[in-house]
Amino acid sequence: MKSTYFILAGIVVVVIIVVALWQGGYFGGESGEEPPTQLPSSIEPPFIEPPILIPPPITPTPVAPAPKGEYYEVKKGDTLWKIAKKHYGDGTKYTLIQEANPDLIKDPKVVKPGWKIFLPALEETSTPATLPPKEPPAKIQYHTVVAGDNLEKIAFLYYKDASKSRIIFEANRDKLATPETTLKVGWKLRIPPLPEVKPPLPKEW
């Protein structure tokens, strides 16, 4: 009976050893290889915080300053000339009003009662630190009288207009008593430049 017990015990020990060797890869499998290691499903990958995007600075759009002035409602009998004379003290400044109301005033002589027109403020002018150089005064020419000269001939020679002989006479009153004074050969007469002719101011409508 005891011998049977020892035999069974030996068989169990052998089976355990065989199973252990089989699980260790000594039978049939590639020795030395370890089964692939897998991460437990409970482990999560580390959290990577996304980069913060900073928007570019917004440059404000410059706003043009509102023009200075006031609105005026045209009354019966008004004209641009009268309105300019009343508000600016100068009727010739009606062009400022017309330029400030191009969509309304097409003809400066036509304004209708009830219109609301914009009267721009006069720009303030300041004296510049350095004034531009003045133009040099026009040079006075001199003419030496020769035989046969008279004021009309000299005026035509320099001005292309004989009727302007009076200008030469006025510039030489020290020698000429009258425009008919006989010219002496050798006299040096001053020939001043022609005066600038300014355009006439527009008349009030």
- Phi then psi dihedrals of residue 12, to 5 deg: -60, -40
Q: 141-191: same fold as 69-120?
A: yes
| Domain ranges for the chain | 69-120, 141-191
Contacts of 153 (CB under 8 A, 6+ apart): 162
Give the tokens for residue 98.
């017309």
Q: Higher confidence at residue 8 or residue 109?
A: 109
- Whether pTM > 0.75 for this model: the answer is no
Q: Higher confidence at residue 141 or residue 198?
A: 141
Mean pLDDT computed over 135-153:
83
Amino acid at 94: Y
Does residue 98 contact residue 80 with C-beta atoms inside 8 Å?
yes
What is the structure's pLDDT at 129?
43
Does residue 69 contact residue 119 with C-beta atoms inside 8 Å?
yes
Amino acid at 125: T
Tell which CATH architecture fits domain 141-191: Roll (3.10)
Among 35-39, 103-107, 156-160, the range of highest mean pLDDT = 156-160
Task: Check pLDDT > 80 for residue 179.
Answer: yes
Tell which CATH architecture fits domain 69-120: Roll (3.10)
Q: What is the pLDDT of residues 64-98, one digit of tens each?
A: 677 788 899 999 989 989 999 988 988 888 999 99
Residue 205, CA atoms < 13 Å, CB-side half-sphere: 17
Give the tokens for residue 78.
């008004």
Residue 6, CA atoms < 13 Å, CB-side half-sphere: 3
Mean pLDDT computed over 87-110:
89
